[in-house]
């Protein structure tokens, strides 16, 4: 009776709500308006940067230095030679390049980021316990060596082969050479697998001497995230990591997650053992590893593990020294903040009362149950608050931009160093939550079909009264400390066809001022890279991780997916075809069809009425990426064409747009 009555009451309430004149989502109608934060005004927005900088300085002044002291206490040794070299002997990284971080922060670096960078850039071998060691500061991530009693278990072998070799050499020289029994990829991001060939050889893995463990879906996500939208992501990654910037007080001061990426050689060996569910265990030597899978949080394929014999918990990249990204500036699928928080709750439930040591792929270790539970619970709470309050404000009608300005972590969370926005800021993470649920459109019809940036900017400048008026107003905004408005005006001016030469240099100067105040390493790098490109154009150097090992591991279907997004529709509409494609050295066959401006490919199928192209996978790569004339390709010994195949093959290659990894971002 009680349940029936409650159902009637709820039904009546719903009916009454639905009977109201509809003016928004149900949650908007019911939301208590008084609980919403006030909308930021022009004056409060202008003061935000200055207030945030003062708050960061005050927080640093209260720091007791515990994180840095604990890290230094576990130091064992570092490499006598601080230089990392590639196979040609060229220096690609200098471990001493962050020595400028000694001493107090200069005016050109946010004091909180300076303190954080001092921790991230400590380099060398560190002892976490009698059987667990880490090499840090050689790469963006940290590699862990666990003594199994019969060899090493290597966890996350860094980003590039060169830094991995350097780390292993340090371990061998300090602790003595030992065989590597297994390698664990904790998740599908390149800084956790790319250096594997610097630790072990392909022959050792093929012979069964070394196992490679990874979570379910690892190989697909490790490749797919960087293939389909790889050119665009790679272009934007140099902004996020600042890898074309000079390292120093006026330039790059880490990414906020770890030291800068070394421009070395990326590698990949496929897993030999896959973890599919939480609770699975594996035995290495006298140690047991119990795994917790966390797909869809920090990475689409990721896992933690617990070692009961050592009371040690590895948290991968699910818990760090910083608030992480829900949507990286380089681009990616939006991550799930709620799932992230829930996984950390599960970690606490499963291992919180058991773990005496916690370590991860970034950050510093924590010791003792109280410290571990305190860290995990407060870190979890930050992601949960970020998710829940973003959704609350969204359901009350705020757009992504509006809720990002309104949202702040409560002091109990914001004043913990590991929740500061060094890598993923609260502002852009709140927008990511909005995007995950609501997409790009904010609901305002004016924003449904906006003009392209260059056209809209020209209209803006015209409406303001011309370029000189816009330039003068921007300078007035700079002098008033209203840097965000100055950026808005100057960016419009740069994208307008009548932009004076001074617009770029003035915008670059404002970007630098914003960079010097930024607490996030990512935001600093983005502003400074924008300033660099405004002044000097797009640099041709930067991170180069292209490697045959990655390409060799790419499934043909995924490669053809990437080719499909390079298809020029106008050219494709003029030359439809059906072609059988046989990859001889992979024993594969694919049916290709270009129709209606799209490429359709089907694995394991052939069309009896269509011609056939047979070639090896390497030749296919040359055809698709080297832009060689079809005659040069068809002359190769492994290329066999049946009658009628030459014309569609040549047409296919001709309709592929060339790759442009250096497209403009801060200019039209």
Taking residue 554's Cβ as centre, other Cβ atoms within 10 Å add up to 20
H or E segment and range at residue 4? helix 2-19
- Beta pairing partners, 583: 588, 615
Does the structure show a pLDDT above 70 at 133?
yes
Alpha carbon 489 to its chain's center = 30
Q: Can you give the pLDDT at residue 318?
A: 98
**What domains can be seen in the chain, in order of their start residue?**
47-385 (3.60.15.30), 555-654 (3.30.1050.10)
Provide the pLDDT for residue 591: 98
Would the pLDDT of 121 be above 50?
yes
User: What is residue 309's DSSP assignment?
Assistant: G
Model pTM score: 0.91
Longest dimension (CA), the chain: 84
| DSSP states of 410-444 | -HHHHTSGGGS-SSS-HHHHHHHHHHHHH-S--S-
Structure tokens at 61: 């002044």
Tokens, residue 523:
């935001």
What would the pLDDT profile of 439-494 be if each residue is shown by its tens digit?
Answer: 999 999 999 999 999 999 999 999 999 999 999 999 999 999 999 999 999 999 99
Check pLDDT > 60 for residue 349: yes
For 667: left if phi > 0, alpha if psi spans -120 to 50, otherwise beta; the answer is beta
For 363, left (φ over 0), alpha (ψ -120 to 50), or beta? left
Mean pLDDT of the chain: 91
Interatomic CA distance for residues 62 and 6, integer angstroms? 53
pLDDT tens figures, 27-50: 333 333 345 666 656 555 555 577
């Amino acid at each position: 009776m009680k349940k029936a009555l409650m159902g009637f009451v709820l039904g009546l309430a719903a009916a009454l709500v639905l009977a109201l004149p509809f003016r928004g989502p149900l949650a908007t109608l019911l939301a208590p308006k008084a609980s919403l934060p006030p909308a930021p005004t022009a004056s409060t927005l202008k003061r935000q940067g200055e207030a945030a900088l003062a708050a960061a300085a005050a927080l640093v002044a209260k720091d007791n230095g515990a994180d840095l002291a604990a890290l230094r206490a576990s130091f064992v040794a570092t490499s006598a030679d601080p230089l990392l070299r590639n196979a040609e002997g060229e220096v690609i990284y200098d471990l001493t390049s962050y020595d400028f971080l000694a001493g107090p922060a200069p005016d050109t670096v946010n004091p909180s980021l300076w303190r954080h960078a001092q921790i991230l850039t400590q380099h060398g071998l560190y002892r976490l316990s009698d059987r667990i060691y880490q090499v840090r500061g050689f790469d963006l991530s940290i590699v862990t060596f666990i003594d199994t009693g019969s060899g090493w278990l290597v966890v996350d072998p860094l980003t590039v082969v060169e830094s991995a070799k350097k780390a292993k050499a340090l371990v061998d020289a300090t602790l003595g050479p030992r065989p590597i029994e297994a390698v664990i990829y904790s998740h599908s991001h390149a800084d956790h697998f790319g250096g594997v060939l610097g630790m072990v050889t392909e022959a050792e893995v093929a012979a069964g001497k070394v196992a490679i463990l990874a979570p379910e879906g690892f190989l697909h996500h490790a490749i797919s995230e960087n293939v389909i939208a790889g050119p665009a992501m790679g272009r934007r990654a140099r902004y996020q990591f600042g890898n074309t910037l000079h390292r120093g007080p006026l330039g790059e001061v880490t990414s906020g997650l770890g030291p800068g990426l070394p421009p070395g050689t990326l590698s990949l060996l496929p897993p030999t053992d896959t973890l599919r569910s939480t609770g699975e265990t594996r035995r290495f030597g006298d140690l047991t590893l119990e795994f917790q899978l966390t797909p869809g949080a920090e990475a689409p394929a990721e896992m933690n593990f617990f070692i009961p014999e050592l009371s040690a918990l590895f948290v991968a990249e699910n818990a760090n020294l910083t608030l992480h990204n829900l949507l990286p500036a380089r681009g990616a699928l939006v991550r799930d903040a709620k799932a992230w928080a829930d996984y950390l709750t599960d970690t606490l439930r499963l291992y919180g009362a058991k773990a005496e040591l916690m370590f991860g792929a970034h950050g510093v270790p924590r010791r003792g149950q109280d410290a571990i539970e305190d860290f995990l619970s407060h870190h979890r709470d930050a992601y949960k608050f970020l998710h829940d309050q973003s959704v609350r404000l969204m359901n009350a009608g705020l757009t992504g931009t509006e809720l990002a300005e309104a949202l702040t972590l409560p002091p109990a969370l914001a004043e913990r160093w590991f929740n500061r926005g060094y890598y993923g800021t609260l502002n852009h993470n709140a927008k990511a939550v909005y995007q995950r649920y609501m997409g790009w459109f904010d609901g305002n019809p004016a924003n449904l079909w906006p003009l392209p940036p260059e056209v809209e900017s020209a209209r803006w400048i015209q409406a303001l009264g011309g370029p000189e008026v816009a330039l003068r107003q921007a300078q007035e905004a700079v002098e008033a400390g209203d840097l965000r408005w100055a950026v808005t005006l100057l960016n419009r001016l740069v994208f307008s066809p009548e932009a004076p030469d001074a617009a770029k240099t003035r915008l670059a100067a404002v970007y630098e001022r914003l960079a010097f105040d930024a607490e996030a390493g990512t935001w600093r790098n983005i502003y400074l890279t924008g300033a660099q490109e405004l002044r000097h154009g797009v640099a041709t150097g930067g991170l180069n991780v292209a490697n045959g090992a990655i390409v060799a591991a790419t499934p043909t279907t995924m490669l053809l997916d990437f080719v499909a997004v390079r298809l020029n529709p106008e050219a494709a509409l003029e030359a439809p075809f059906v072609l059988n494609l046989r990859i001889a050295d992979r024993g594969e066959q694919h049916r290709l069809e270009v129709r209606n401006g799209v490429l359709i490919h089907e694995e394991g199928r052939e069309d009896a009425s269509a011609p056939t192209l047979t070639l090896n996978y390497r030749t296919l790569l040359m055809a698709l990426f080297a832009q060689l004339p079809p005659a040069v390709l068809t002359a190769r010994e492994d290329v066999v064409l049946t009658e009628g195949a030459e014309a569609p093959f040549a047409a296919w290659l001709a309709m592929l747009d060339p790759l442009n990894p250096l497209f403009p971002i801060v200019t039209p």
